[in-house]
């Protein structure tokens, strides 16, 4: 793959660990986990990989302020705030929701990391984001807009290199299962798989979108990412594996399936999941394993994308 400008601050390579007790509990084929919850930047997560490339792009553009947007308990926003603090940049976060009475979870960490928070509604998010960017520019703060979820070709490229990292660890699972939402992680993975010759299946468990929409988004972004990396490939939506059977009550609504997954991973493997992303993806993995979806003898890798601070947020403390 083509070399891209990159800052190195993530703790890489992240380890791959077996999950024998979970596999036994589910009577499933061998299960493993890729620990991207341990990427090291303010409690880690998958966005840290993306920020290595996005921060290099920001620096090349002379940025002095990072601006991004997300939900109230956004892991992406927390890691962006951490990256800004690490490199001496200002950070503006446009968060969808209302200020909580007491800061907890990612909101607590956003403030600790020095981020300025601007509150908005879902309907006004794009308008508020643009207004914040324009004002920062007029004030001479040299803003750089970090895309939602880090999901641009530059950000997605991080997960093409992550697939290369996995193969360099001499690990070739038959399946990779993970949480998919803004699409950047999955787009990078499918691009990396094609460019590195990985033959396994990459299955995104959607946390908030119907499969056709997410497949289209990932295919488009993967095509753009492949071109950035030096080989123009056209990915078709039908090539992208997405399961949208586990949307439950909607984005960030924790139900019984997510609660069971969080408890089962914690008590069988001492692995902590979050209620929004990895909890939902793990619930999908658990249900698929119980159904016998994964053929006997095939190995399954759960790619842990992080999000642990949300466990300590007010809405989820009854997990």
Measured distance CA(282)–CA(201) in Å, rounded: 17
CA distances from 82 to 93, 110, 249, 295 (A): 12, 8, 31, 41
The active-site residue, picked from 28, 74, 151, 223, is: 74
Residue 74 catalytic? yes
The structure tokens 């993995």 sit at: 285
213 to 209, 241, 303: CA distances (angstroms): 7, 12, 22
Instruction: Count Cβ neighbours within 10 Å for each residue of 177-209 and write b for 16 or more, e otherwise.
Output: bbbbbbbbbbbbbbbbbbbbebebebbbbbbbb
Residues forming beta bridges with residue 68, ordered by sequence position: 93
Are 21 and 289 in contact by the 8 Å Cβ rule? The answer is: no
CB-hemisphere CA count at 13 Å for 314?
Answer: 9
Active site (catalytic) residues: 74
């Amino acid at each position: 793959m083509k070399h891209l400008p990159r800052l190195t601050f993530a703790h890489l390579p992240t380890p791959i660990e077996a999950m024998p007790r979970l596999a036994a509990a589910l009577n499933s084929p061998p299960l493993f986990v890729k620990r991207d919850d341990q990427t090291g930047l303010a409690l880690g997560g998958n966005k840290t990989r993306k920020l290595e490339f996005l921060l290099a792009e920001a620096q090349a553009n002379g940025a002095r302020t990072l601006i991004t947007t997300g939900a109230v308990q956004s892991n992406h926003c927390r890691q962006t705030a951490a990256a800004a603090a690490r490199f001496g940049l200002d950070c503006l976060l446009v968060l969808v929701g209302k200020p909580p009475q007491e800061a907890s979870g990612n909101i607590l960490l956003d403030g600790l990391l020095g981020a300025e928070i601007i509150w908005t509604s879902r309907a006004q998010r794009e308008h508020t984001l643009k207004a914040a960017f324009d004002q920062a520019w007029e004030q001479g703060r040299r803003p750089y807009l970090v895309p939602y979820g880090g999901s641009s070709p530059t950000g997605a490229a991080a997960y093409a290199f992550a697939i290369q990292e996995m193969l360099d660890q001499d690990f070739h699972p038959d399946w990779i299962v993970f949480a998919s939402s803004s699409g950047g992680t999955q787009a990078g993975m499918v691009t990396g798989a094609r460019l590195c010759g990985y033959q396994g299946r990459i299955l995104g468990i959607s946390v908030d979108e119907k499969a056709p929409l997410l497949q289209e988004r990932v295919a488009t972004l993967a095509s753009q990412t492949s071109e950035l990396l030096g080989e123009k490939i056209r990915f078709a939506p039908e090539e992208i594996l997405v399961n949208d059977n586990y949307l439950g009550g909607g984005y960030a609504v924790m139900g019984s399936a997510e609660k069971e997954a969080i408890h089962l991973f914690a008590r069988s493997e001492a692995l902590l999941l979050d209620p929004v992303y990895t909890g939902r993806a793990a619930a999908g993995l658990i249900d698929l394993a119980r159904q016998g979806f994964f053929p006997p003898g095939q190995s399954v890798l759960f790619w842990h994308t992080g999000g642990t601070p949300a466990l300590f947020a007010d809405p989820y403390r009854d997990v």
